[in-house]
Structures are given as C-alpha cells and as structure tokens.
Amino acid sequence: MNDFTFLSPTRLIVGRDAELQAGTWVRRYGGHKVLVHHDSGYCESSGLVDRIVRNLQEAGLETVVLGGVVPNPHLSLVYEGIELCRREKVDFLLAIGGGSVIDSTKAIAMGLVFDGDVWDLFASNETGEAKAVETRPCMPVGVVLTMAATGSEASNSCVITKADEQLKRFCDNDLHRPVFAIENPVLTMSLPPFQTACGVIDIMSHSMERYFSCEPTGNELTDRLCEAVFHTCMDCGRKLMANPNDYDARASIMVASTISHNGLTGMGRKNNGDWSSHFIEHELSGEYNVTHGAGLAVITPAWMKYVYRENMPIFLKWATRVMGVSYDWDNPALTIEEGIRRLEDYFRFLGIPTTLHEMPDVGVVPEEIMWKMARRVRITNEDGTVGGLKRLGTEDIVNIFRLAQ
Amino acid sequence: MNDFTFLSPTRLIVGRDAELQAGTWVRRYGGHKVLVHHDSGYCESSGLVDRIVRNLQEAGLETVVLGGVVPNPHLSLVYEGIELCRREKVDFLLAIGGGSVIDSTKAIAMGLVFDGDVWDLFASNETGEAKAVETRPCMPVGVVLTMAATGSEASNSCVITKADEQLKRFCDNDLHRPVFAIENPVLTMSLPPFQTACGVIDIMSHSMERYFSCEPTGNELTDRLCEAVFHTCMDCGRKLMANPNDYDARASIMVASTISHNGLTGMGRKNNGDWSSHFIEHELSGEYNVTHGAGLAVITPAWMKYVYRENMPIFLKWATRVMGVSYDWDNPALTIEEGIRRLEDYFRFLGIPTTLHEMPDVGVVPEEIMWKMARRVRITNEDGTVGGLKRLGTEDIVNIFRLAQ
C-alpha cells in the first residue's frame, strides 16, 4: 500500500424527497443568498428547480437563478455566474443537476475567491499544469443530484470547456469539494435507459481506473471496496434495465456514484490509479460528440486487452472474483480474456455497443483520425505518456483505437 | 434503503512515519498549544510520545502532556484534562493511542465547550438519554493511531467509565469526530497476537452489527461494502498470524478499522444496524474484565444462532458470499449454520475461544450471573428491549449467554 491522504468531507443526505431539506442545509452551512445553478433539461421542465427555489425561500433565503448549463459546461457561463454572484452578493452556490452543472458551479466557486482569470486555474492537456493556483477555501457549494454518473458531487474534479477554442481542461482541487450532496433516488427514475446505462458504466469506470493500477497486490481493502462498487453496479444495473423504478437499485447506484469517485476506492494506489481509458475517451467524445459512458464501454475493454499482461494478478483477481470466471490453470490469460468478454456482454446487455463501428455517432474510424485523437490525449507522465499500469505513447493509443474498431 | 445522512469529515493520513506529519497537520487545523494525551503503555515506553512532542515543538507548537489513560477510560482523568487545558489555554487536542485514549480526548474536547458537568452529556444505559446536549463544535481533536480496532479515530462514538460507581456510558455525537487521523501501520506491528486478533474481531463486528440488520434486502451497496470489510479482515488477519510484520496486511486492517465504524457500512440501515451483540458484550466485559474483541468472539456467534431465523436472506447472503458455503437447497438453515461454524473456526484460528467456559477469565457462568448481566444490558428500544433484527428482552439475552456457555 502506498502512502496516501484521504479526505471526503461532503455530507450525504439520501432519501425520498431529500431535496426538500435544501433550505435547512444551506442555512446550516451559513448561506443567506443562494445562486441556484442548473441546466435547461429535466430539472427545469419537471418543476424541480421551482420546487427547490420555493423551499429555499421558505427557509428565509434569497435566491438568484442561473440556468443554461450544457454538457461539457462552458467557460463563458462560468464567467457569467461569477459576475452575477459578485453583483448580487451571493454567499452560497447550489447546483441542481448532474456532473456538468456541478462542475460549472465549482468553477464559479473558485472564480469568486480568485483575483485573476479562473481559466488560469485549469491545467492544460499538454503540460498537465495550470498557470495559477488558488489556496483559499471556495465559496461553499451544495448539490441536489439528479443523475448518478460522474461522482462530481463529492469529488475534487472539475472539467470545463472553452468552447471557442475547443479546449477541455481540468482542475482537481480539494477546496471545491461540495459541503453537501442531496440525493433523492426518485429523481433519477425518469432518466432514459441509455443515460442510466452510461451512468452505470461511468461509475464502474471510476473504480476500474483505480483498481487496475500498477500495484499487483498490497491494496486488499481498496481492491475489495472497488469490487463492492463493480458488483453493485452490475447487479443493480441489471435490475434497472428490467424496472427503472426500482427504488433500492436506484439508491445503491446513486450512492455508488458518489463513493466511486470521492477517492475511497483509490486509497493506497500510486497516483490514485491509471486513468488512461478516461483520457483516451475524452478525445473520442471531443471528436464525435459521444456520451462519456458510451465511449468508455468501447475504450475500456480495448485498453484491457492491450495492457492486461502488464499486471496479470490484478486482472486475474478481477476476472475470478468479479466476473465469476473459473481460473484456467493451464492458461491464466484465457481467464482474463473471458472476464473481458463478460464485461463486454454486460455493456451490450445495457444496450451500449462495445466497438467503434457499432456506435451510431462514430462508425469506422479512419487511421488519420485515430492518430489525431491519440496525439491530443492528456499527458500524465513526465516522459510524455499517459497511464500508470502501462505508460502509453501515441502509437499505443492508436493500437487501442484499432482494437476498439 | 432507508433514508440516511452520512458524514465522515476526518482526514486520513496513512503511511510509513506518518506520525512525523503531526505538527504540520495540527498547524493547518489552527492549533498553537496542544494537549498530548496518551496511555502509559507502549506509546510511552517506545519513545513514540517523546518523538511526537518533539515533532510538534519543531513545528513551533507549545505542548502540554497528559498520560495515564486506562482501558475503559475514566471520567476522573477527563475532568483532570479539562482543568489542565483551561489552565494552560490549550487550543488543540492530540490523542496518541487506541480507542481508550481517543475517547478520553473526545470527552475532554466536549467538556471544554460545555458549561456544565461533561458527564451529563453521556447517556444512561437505562433510559438511553443524556441529561444535557451540547451543540457547539468541540475543540478540535487529532489522532495518532497505534491500534486498529475501535474505529474511534473517525467515529461519532465515545465511551467513558465513572469508575467509583462502575458506570460505563456513551456519547454519540458528530461534533467530536476527529479532524484528522494519522495511521502508520508500522506502529501496530509490535502488538501481541492476542491484541491483533481482538482488534480484527472488533473491526469485523462493527460491520456485522450493521450488516445483520432488520432489512432483508435493499442495501446492496452497503452490504457489499460490509463484505469488503469482512473479506479484508479475514484474509489480512490470517496473514498477520503468519507474519505480524506484513506491512500491507497491517495497513489494510488499520484502514478497515476506520471505515468499519465511521458510518460508511451502515448507510441506509435502520438505526444504523442492530448492536445487541455489542451491548451484551459490554456487560460481559464489565463483569469479567475480558477484552471487548474476545468477548465478541463468544457473543456474536451465539447471537447469530439465536436470531438468524428472523432474517434468513441476509444470513444466507453472508454465508454464501463471505464464508464460501455452498447453498443447501434442501435445507437453507444448514447453509447459515455452516457459515457460523466457519466464523467460529476463524476466531479459533486467531487464537480466541468462542465459548464462555473456554475463556481464561470467565469459565462456567452461573445462571444468576447471566441474569444479572442480562438485566444490565443497554436498552435501545422503547419497549425495553435491545437490538433491531430481533428485539431482545432479558430472557432472550440469558438464552444467548446459555448458547455461548
């Protein structure tokens, strides 16, 4: 086990009608005037935003509403939010939505305490470093979660896109972790099966990136915690395909989303995991505008096939314990390949293709596009590669795209 | 899944020589003058206390040292600590030790912000209620952990004994949760096998109390998290009996102790679990002065045999998934009984007896002592019973002692 620190201060408030506790919790965390930040989809049309605004006002709080967050949230709206909050003297930020809304809110929270351009706090793909660092606590952020996927409700991650330059950048920082996350599983019941499935895959992926790290052994507890997330996602995901209104399955998936990306399943792992599938997928999403979870369903199995020989013990543990494969004593590699095959089967059961050419928005990817995407992948190592289990150069990434074809 | 809130704000700092970060973290949490609280055993004789005091002083902090904490920590020392901290104008409390030292420190932290007698914050066994409630944040508590067992380093629990009246009382409160817990697995390597074993059993028990609750299904995620703790404890406990210096096994057990009692494995469960084995064991400990973990090794299997028919699905899940028993389709109860037998086998492998008459400090317990202990067990339900899976009256508790005989 590698040395680590773990901090997850976000208070989870989970249950039916939990969003009606928003006013109470904002007050307990010292808020008086609240920015309510949301997207323009279900949150607005279903009346959820109005219901929460009313709840905040009944709790004696003033509110300012800013909607319009889009997937891959835009820097321009972040600027607008910072400007609005300064003008209105807001002292608490409440995100209503999924990862995009939460990330947009976190960026506003950082911008409000930072004297320069908030974009300078976001790290570039090329160098992995940001121009500036902010060490003061952010304005407090609360969340009413409406989607189980990104885990942004309790994570230190924030991803913002500068739309005019097609730049997607990251700011990982403990200071913007939300103070509370309100999770009402009922709010996720109306998601279409495709979005539910992509969420389940994203949640699994956050722990797979950590589980398949470079240590062959020595993290028994966190390996088991990852496996708890995998089993839960697979069992409850199956239940949700049969019955989208299964409350207990929705609840388990929702809380799994939170603990799969708050750092718990990464404790003791070098660099908190591998993360190359995520970064490769981000370029696929950027090129073809595919949903992150759907992209992961294609990239992750291809990555596994390409790298598993670098750390057979961890892949064997996973194939036998999680995927239920019998250990093949004559040919252990076959055990792993069968595990990967079953994972692909599961993704297809969820209705998500596992090859590029089957993806509706992608199809057969020309070699030159593969090279273009591979060259853009975020670099995480000093030697210009990405990933921890196997350090991947540009050609490796192209090989993974070829395997995913 | 029942509605719940979950909060675990304690920062974990885990690794080799992690105690040398004490000064840095105390400063980051705003301390200037630190009470260093400890027991008179290994922490003192090994030079650990001196090493940490030096580290604090090198970080520019003033220190006041108070040793002498005993197992089942005494109220009298808590009073002494409060008095000392007020006189010396201490602004941070650092516990060096295991559960007893941490609980003594938490009680001092509460006493320092409470105007009345700190003992009034502790709930009586008879009514389950305390005379007074304190809602202001405590003085901050940090921990350097030297034992993996109670989970007090990140829990909301605190147990103090008023020695002259033989009263052991509880104060469960989020306000006294430590701000950080420093965990160096190397510090636990010198524990004798008996204490290591008792720790492992205590850690398992904190999740068993939560796992075997009254809900038959519906908590898939937290069931799996409990199972992660069970598997880790059993696998790593086995390794430690063979090699007490196995760093990775020590580390997994140490972090398991923290997450097994910070509330994570109780999410979504009614009343956060059952807890009757714990409360029954407390009376056994009180009567015969046995170590808590050793007492649990006797009480828990007896309790299981007595109650399992109240919730067969959860016991079947455990027997098959955790204890590796093949499901007996002709007689499911036999599946469970085999699971319990394997659990007893494991405790005996750890060197801990599983019957009262085999315990060195106990032997054959007379019926009248069984009744005496049973009548003293902490009441948790309004109808005068204890426990959630099966509500146990005095006669039920005597029956469990008989099964444990």
- CA B294 to CA B314: how far, in whole Å? 24
Please tell me which of the candidates B219, B247, B256 has its beta carbon nearest to residue A221: B256
Closest CA to B93 of B136, B27, B157, B139: B139
The dihedral region occupied by B268, where left means phi > 0, alpha psi between -120 and 50, and beta the remainder, is: left
| Residues B255, A221: C-beta atoms closer than 8 Å | yes
With beta carbons under 8 A apart, name residues in chain B contacting A13: 5
Core vs surface per residue A354-391: b (16+ CB within 10 A) or e: bbbeebeebeebeeeebeebbebbbbbeeeebbbbbbb
B274 φ, ψ to 5°? -95, -60
pLDDT of residue B354: 98
| Residues A220, B227: C-beta atoms closer than 8 Å | no
| Residues A224, B227: C-beta atoms closer than 8 Å | yes
Residues in chain B whose Cβ is within 8 Å of chain A: 1-9, 11-16, 18, 185, 217-222, 224-225, 227-229, 231-232, 235-236, 247-249, 251-252, 255-256, 259, 264, 267-268
Closest CA to A223 of A214, A234, A211: A211
CA angle B303, B305, B310 (to 5 degrees): 90
- Biggest distance spanned by C-alpha atoms of chain A: 70
Q: What is the DSSP letter of B157?
A: -
> Considering just the CA atoms, what is the radius of gyration of chain A in Å?
21
Please list the ranges in chain A whose pLDDT falls under 50: none
Chains A, B: CB contacts under 8 A, how many?
125
Please tell me which of the candidates A7, A14, A249 has its beta carbon nearest to residue B11: A7
pLDDT averaged over chain A?
A: 95
Q: What is the pLDDT of residues A239-252, one digit of tens each?
A: 999 999 999 999 99
- CA B144 to CA B96: how far, in whole Å? 5
CB A254 within 8 A of CB A14: yes
| Residues B15, A8: C-beta atoms closer than 8 Å | no
Core vs surface per residue B242-260: b (16+ CB within 10 A) or e: eebebebbbbbbbbbbbbb
pLDDT of residue B215: 80
Nearest Cα residue in chain A from B253: A221
pTM here is: 0.97
Please tell me which of the candidates A5, A222, A264 has its beta carbon nearest to residue B11: A5
| Residues A1, B248: C-beta atoms closer than 8 Å | yes
First CA to last CA distance, chain A: 36
Please list the ranges in chain B whose pLDDT falls under 70: none
Q: What is the pLDDT of residues B281-300, one digit of tens each?
A: 999 998 998 999 999 999 99
